[in-house]
Structure 1
Amino acid sequence: MTITTLDWIVIIGYFTAMLLLGFYFSTKNKNTEDYMLGGRNMSSWKVGLSLFATMFSAVSYLSMPGEMIKYGPMIWSSLFALPFIYLVVAYYFIPYIMRIKITSAYELLETKLDIRNRIVAASYFLIMRIVWMAVIIFMVSEKVIVPIMGWPEEKSLLVSIIIGVVTVIYTSFGGFKSVVLSDVVQTAILFFGSIIAIIIIVNKLEGVSNIVPTEWPEQWAEWKFFDPHARLSFLTVVLTTFGWYVCTAGSDQMAIQRYLATANVKTARRMYLNSIVSNALVTILLAVLGFALFAYFKLNPDLLTNGKTVLDDTDALFPTFIVIGLPAGFSGLVLAGLLAASMSSLSSGINSSAMSIINDFILRFRKKAITEKDQMKMAKYISLGIGLVIVLLSLVVGNIQGNLLEITYKTINLLVAPLFVPFFMAMFVKRAKPTATFIGTLSSGVAAVLISFSKEFFGESISFLWIIPGSFIVGVVISFVLSYKKE
């Protein structure tokens, strides 16, 4: 499988555009508030698409069709949680957070609790997002670029370095404004790429009816409303989706940074609605794409390499189709979209992580004041350091067992609920005590590890979808009990 010269022109053009974008916005940032928050006056639709694109990384873009092919449409259950998520985030979290003048999300915890809770939460965030970025680089280099190009596995390191370097350059130079605009472009490409792929497959199979299975495929999991031991069940998917979105919206610097980048609560609510709607539409599109890819390769097994079957590596079917099924130029555009998806998530992660390191650690403990100019220079150096760390870490991510969705939950989502525990206590529990919350937050992290790797610890596997609700319950219960315990 190879891509054409026209495809290469599109891909190189995209890389060049991202670099130019970073250099352009480097002249527009007058102070650290411009650099980190876009001047706190950005439009709702741009920031909304940015939030969607940031959280909906290339991992999600590739794993969803593969998940549908291998395990069935249970993934659509997540859509039932979205209206409830919006109500909680838009009408409680956003007004609560925006009435406090903060730059880092974790400043709130020191105000409501103490410095220990701020530091442990900021540490959880940094660990979670650095691992998240490493998974993204691993997935794009080893699961997409290297196999499509037919390169040896050793080339994945070079691919990782190129992606990391380009992303760090335009992020460190352009700041938050360049991150948001690149996210908008990426979102357009994600939608366009999914729709084009579906249309082409439907056309090749001569009708929509030919992509829908006539009977329940043997490999698809049996539909269950609730089963704690099943890999997926309706209720666990809904609860996990609700938990992930609420936890992320209420505690993740990348989400809170986007509320703070808007002018007021009303704009922030519109921004979050744009993000939720975009997520729902792409989830539906990618699930339909999964149906289409399954039907296409089932009828054309000879197109798979090395004697593989449709089910051997479902995560690789979409990248394979991009090269063999799309016209010249379109392959390059969709590949650029995958690169854009990863680079956009990386740029947001690097920007938010650098922001947290500066505000929660350096400025918080430094006795001497630092000028605006020095802070911006510091952010660029820290961004470079983060880029180096995530490229190196991406080399060991491949040792984790499971498909892309499982790897995501076992690594990226490990600390989602533990990070939210201190925020929940600070916002919802009036008598929350700092020490009790600190212990509960640490306990939640331990619980997440035990659930994620339950088979290794206990010999019996618990569904990875229980990582978020299980660890959250442990953390809140311990924090609550210790807070109300009589001295």
Structure 2
Amino acid sequence: MNRIYLASLVAVTLAAGGGTSLGAEAIAGTAAPKIGLIWIDWVIIAAYGIGTVVLGWWYSRGDRTTSEYFVGSGRMNPILIGVSLFATLLSTISYMSMPGEALGKGPAFLANYLAYPLIFLIVSLVLLPVYMKQRVQSAYELLELRLGLSVRLLGASLFLVLRLVWMALMIYLTSKAISILMGVGEDWIPWIALVSGTVTIIYTSMGGLRAVVITDLMQTILLYGGALLVIGTVSWKMG
């Protein structure tokens, strides 16, 4: 499942609904308006969900081989791939928790990002050349070539278990955040999780890697656009 879809869904809901005005009123110390969504908010959210599914369908038309479906035939735009990889680093947890961490701990919270340039250099200059030279489709295939099938199966199994638990947390946090923005009770969380998860599965399974990369680009724009919109709205409300 594409985790940035969940984070961007929160951003779209927050930008579309009364969450922006709610935050501004709460900070300003005035009476908070009733939490909930109006019809235009639902139109925006529905258009977003339908748009991602349409993109998945559109790019599914060009997938004629398994190579095109799973790896885009290895001929995708490197800029789009870079944006998709960058977007993959984001999640609902980072989108929702980082502002609170920065507010509570100050600039010290950003100290871990100082290591990123060094990490990127090591990965790009040392690890990626070795990986690309082997012409493998995944890191687990490389594990099999170097260490045997049992190590590959162990690595893949551990990854799947980790991701299943982690993704369940992502879906729950996303659904809980959206339920608060919608002004509904926690009994709606399973239904919100079902809808958001179904949309993600549909466009990913229909379009393959190309659909994932293109929707990652769209969701990155919405993610940061929603954040900027919230910041601008709160700043405007506070004068």
Q: How does 1:107-256 map to 2 (within 5 A)?
A: 107-142=141-176, 144-206=177-239
For residues 203 and 173 of structure 1, the distance between their equivalents in structure 2, rounded to whole angstroms, comes to 41
Higher helix proportion: 2
State the partner residue of 2:87. Answer: 53
Q: Which has the larger radius of gyration?
A: 1
1:49 Cα deviation from its structure 2 partner: 1.0
1:149-169 CA-to-partner distances (Å, cap 9, x unmatched) read 121211100111111111111
> Which of the pair has the greater relative contact order for Cα pairs under 8 Å at 6+ separation?
2
For residues 14 and 157 of structure 1, the distance between their equivalents in structure 2, rounded to whole angstroms, comes to 20
1:32 Cα deviation from its structure 2 partner: 0.9
The answer to whether 1:5 aligns with 2:39 is: yes
The answer to whether 1:94 aligns with 2:118 is: no
State the partner residue of 2:16. Answer: none
For residues 80 and 104 of structure 1, the distance between their equivalents in structure 2, rounded to whole angstroms, comes to 28
1:196 Cα deviation from its structure 2 partner: 2.1
For residues 7 and 150 of structure 1, the distance between their equivalents in structure 2, rounded to whole angstroms, comes to 13
For residues 35 and 174 of structure 1, the distance between their equivalents in structure 2, rounded to whole angstroms, comes to 7
1:153-191 CA-to-partner distances (Å, cap 9, x unmatched) read 111001111111111111111111000000000111122
The answer to whether 1:80 aligns with 2:84 is: no
The answer to whether 1:68 aligns with 2:70 is: no
Give the number of aligned pairs: 205
SS of match in other structure, 1:72: helix
Equivalent AA in structure 2 for residue 77 of structure 1: A
For residues 234 and 186 of structure 2, the distance between their equivalents in structure 1, rounded to whole angstroms, comes to 30
Residue of structure 1 aligned with 2:57, choices 10, 23, 36 = 23
For residues 194 and 187 of structure 2, the distance between their equivalents in structure 1, rounded to whole angstroms, comes to 12
TM-score, scaled to structure 1: 0.41
For residues 43 and 28 of structure 1, the distance between their equivalents in structure 2, rounded to whole angstroms, comes to 16
Structure 2: where are the runs of 5+ without partners?
1-34
1:73 Cα deviation from its structure 2 partner: 2.8
Q: How does 1:265-276 map to 2 (within 5 A)?
A: none
Equivalent AA in structure 1 for residue 220 of structure 2: T
SS of match in other structure, 2:76: coil
For residues 223 and 76 of structure 2, the distance between their equivalents in structure 1, rounded to whole angstroms, comes to 22
SS of match in other structure, 1:154: helix
Equivalent AA in structure 2 for residue 46 of structure 1: L
Q: Which stretch has the larger CA shift, 66-75 or 56-65?
A: 66-75
For residues 81 and 64 of structure 1, the distance between their equivalents in structure 2, rounded to whole angstroms, comes to 17
The answer to whether 1:38 aligns with 2:72 is: yes
For residues 124 and 59 of structure 2, the distance between their equivalents in structure 1, rounded to whole angstroms, comes to 30
1:81 Cα deviation from its structure 2 partner: 0.8
1:54-78 CA-to-partner distances (Å, cap 9, x unmatched) read 2211221111112223333322112
Equivalent AA in structure 2 for residue 31 of structure 1: T
Equivalent AA in structure 1 for residue 228 of structure 2: I
Equivalent AA in structure 2 for residue 116 of structure 1: S
Structure 1: where are the runs of 5+ without partners?
207-487
1:217-248 CA-to-partner distances (Å, cap 9, x unmatched) read xxxxxxxxxxxxxxxxxxxxxxxxxxxxxxxx
1:285-338 CA-to-partner distances (Å, cap 9, x unmatched) read xxxxxxxxxxxxxxxxxxxxxxxxxxxxxxxxxxxxxxxxxxxxxxxxxxxxxx
1:126 Cα deviation from its structure 2 partner: 0.9
1:107 Cα deviation from its structure 2 partner: 1.1
